[in-house]
Structure 1
Amino acid sequence: MKVLVATEKPFAKVAVDGIRKEIEGAGYELALLEKYTDKQQLFDAVKDANAVIIRSDIIDKEVLDAAKELKIVVRAGAGYDNVDLEAATAHGVCVMNTPGQNSNAVAELAFGMMVMAVRNFYDGKSGTELKGKKLGIHAYGNVGRNVARIAKGFGMDIYAYDAYCPKEAMEADGVKPVDSAEELYATCNVVSLHIPATAETKNSINYALVNRMPKNGLLVNTARKEVINETELIKLMEDRPDLKYVTDIMPVANEEFAAKFPGRYFSTPKKMGAQTAEANINAGIAAARQIVGFLKDGCEKFRVNKK
Structure 2
Amino acid sequence: MKILVATDKPFAAIAVEGIKKELDKAGIEMILLEKYGEKSKLIEAIADVDGVIVRSDILDAEVLNAAKKLKIAVRAGAGYDNIDLATATANGVCVMNTPGQNSNAVAELVFGMAVMLVRNFYNGTSGTELKGKKLGIHAFGQVGRNVARIAKGFGMEIYAFDPYCPAEAIEAEGVKPITDINEMYSTCQYISLHIPATPETKKSINYNLLKQMPKGAVLINTARKEVIDEEELVKLMEDRADFKYISDIKPDNASVFAEKFEGRYFFTPKKMGAQTAEANINAGIAAAKQSVGFLKEGIDKFKVNK
| Coarse TM-score class (shorter-chain normalised) | over 0.9
Other structure's SS at 1:132 match? coil
Which residue is equivalent to 1:171?
Answer: 171
Which residue is equivalent to 2:238?
Answer: 238
Determine if the alignment matches structure 1 residue 192 to structure 2 residue 192.
Answer: yes
Equivalent residue pairs, number? 306
Q: Which amino acid aligns with 1:79?
A: G
In the alignment, the residues of structure 1 paired with residue 58 and residue 276 of structure 2 have an alpha-carbon distance, to the nearest angstrom, of: 21
Q: Which amino acid aligns with 1:209?
A: L
TM normalised by structure 2 equals 0.99
Is contact 1:70–1:93 with CA below 8 Å preserved after alignment? yes
Which residue is equivalent to 1:26?
Answer: 26
In the alignment, the residues of structure 2 paired with residue 258 and residue 136 of structure 1 have an alpha-carbon distance, to the nearest angstrom, of: 27
Deviation for aligned residue 1:288:
0.2
Other structure's SS at 1:107 match? helix
Could you list the runs of 5+ residues in structure 2 that have no partner in the other structure? none
Which residue is equivalent to 1:202?
Answer: 202
Deviation for aligned residue 1:181:
1.4
In the alignment, the residues of structure 2 paired with residue 180 and residue 200 of structure 1 have an alpha-carbon distance, to the nearest angstrom, of: 16
Q: Which amino acid aligns with 1:256?
A: V
Deviation for aligned residue 1:292:
0.5
Measured against aligned partners, the alpha-carbon deviations of 1:98-135 in whole angstroms (never above 9, x if no partner) come to 00000000000001011011111222211100000000
Determine if the alignment matches structure 1 residue 15 to structure 2 residue 31.
Answer: no
Q: Which residues in structure 2 correspond to 1:1-307 (within 5 Å)?
A: 1-306=1-306
Other structure's SS at 1:59 match? coil
Is contact 1:258–1:266 with CA below 8 Å preserved after alignment? no
Measured against aligned partners, the alpha-carbon deviations of 1:167-187 in whole angstroms (never above 9, x if no partner) come to 111111110111211111100
Deviation for aligned residue 1:225:
0.2
Q: Which amino acid aligns with 1:206?
A: N
Q: Which amino acid aligns with 2:254?
A: N
Other structure's SS at 2:273 match? coil
In the alignment, the residues of structure 1 paired with residue 204 and residue 39 of structure 2 have an alpha-carbon distance, to the nearest angstrom, of: 33
Deviation for aligned residue 1:58:
0.1
Q: Which amino acid aligns with 2:300?
A: E
Considering only aligned residues, what root-mean-square deviation do their CA atoms show, in Å? 0.6
In the alignment, the residues of structure 2 paired with residue 72 and residue 172 of structure 1 have an alpha-carbon distance, to the nearest angstrom, of: 35
In the alignment, the residues of structure 1 paired with residue 89 and residue 179 of structure 2 have an alpha-carbon distance, to the nearest angstrom, of: 35
TM normalised by structure 1 equals 0.99
Other structure's SS at 1:250 match? coil
In the alignment, the residues of structure 2 paired with residue 278 and residue 253 of structure 1 have an alpha-carbon distance, to the nearest angstrom, of: 32
Q: Which amino acid aligns with 2:87?
A: A
Other structure's SS at 2:252 match? coil
In the alignment, the residues of structure 1 paired with residue 170 and residue 258 of structure 2 have an alpha-carbon distance, to the nearest angstrom, of: 36
Deviation for aligned residue 1:149:
0.2
Other structure's SS at 1:214 match? coil
Q: Which amino acid aligns with 1:129?
A: E
Measured against aligned partners, the alpha-carbon deviations of 1:181-203 in whole angstroms (never above 9, x if no partner) come to 11111001110000010111100
Could you list the runs of 5+ residues in structure 1 that have no partner in the other structure? none
Q: Which amino acid aligns with 1:241?
A: A
Poorly superposed stretches of 4+, deviation over 4 Å = none
Other structure's SS at 1:31 match? strand
Percent of aligned positions with the same letter in both sequences? Answer: 71
Deviation for aligned residue 1:37:
1.1
Deviation for aligned residue 1:298:
0.3
Measured against aligned partners, the alpha-carbon deviations of 1:206-243 in whole angstroms (never above 9, x if no partner) come to 11111111101100000000000001110000000001
In the alignment, the residues of structure 1 paired with residue 183 and residue 88 of structure 2 have an alpha-carbon distance, to the nearest angstrom, of: 38
